[in-house]
Amino acid sequence: MRRAFKLNVRIVEIALLAAVLLPGCASTGTNAGGQGPSMEDLGKLAPGTSTTSDVQKLLGPPLRVTRFDRMQRDVWEYRRYVDPMDDRHVAVQFSPDGIVREVLVLKDYSREVCGC
């Protein structure tokens, strides 16, 4: 009887923890159901015109910044996650003057189910 009581208490603790933490995963607006930059926001970026400041305001801070010395470009990396089967890498490339040169959205195929 005591063991069943402890198990029920543990289940209630887990349910309360989930109720507190999971609302932070919810989102609203154009990116409902996902995390990271929405396709609508990515479409607002104009190569040759948008600046690092524009990207920061629109997409927020990047997940990671990488420097490609040979290309003389900084790349800001983001992840766009809609569901486990639709994970995308987003790379925004900037020239040395801080202007967006290219925006890439690449599907992460490592999450695909193998047809083997």
- How confident is the model over 94-114, as a mean pLDDT? 88
Mark residue 71 as left, alpha or beta (left: phi above 0; alpha: psi -120 to 50; beta: remaining).
alpha
The set of residues, in sequence order, having a beta carbon less than 8 Å from that of 71 and lying 6+ positions away, is 93
Residue 85: predicted pLDDT: 74
| In a domain? residue 74 | yes
Residue 10: predicted pLDDT: 54
| In a domain? residue 69 | yes
Counted domains in the chain: 1
pLDDT at 96 over 70: yes
Q: What is the CATH number of the domain that holds 102?
A: 3.30.1450
- pLDDT tens for 2-53 read 555 444 545 545 554 454 444 444 433 344 445 788 889 999 999 999 999 9
| In a domain? residue 95 | yes
| In a domain? residue 42 | yes
| In a domain? residue 73 | yes
DSSP readout, 41-105?
Answer: HHHT--TTT-BHHHHHHHH-S-SEEEEETTTTEEEEEEEEEEETTEEEEEEEEE-TTSBEEEEEE
| In a domain? residue 49 | yes
Within 10 A of 24 (CB to CB), how many other CB atoms are there?
7
- In angstroms, the Cα distances linking 41 to 48, 54, 85, 115 are 17, 11, 21, 34
- pLDDT tens for 43-90 read 999 999 999 999 999 999 999 999 999 999 999 999 988 777 778 899
Host domain of residue 81 = 34-111
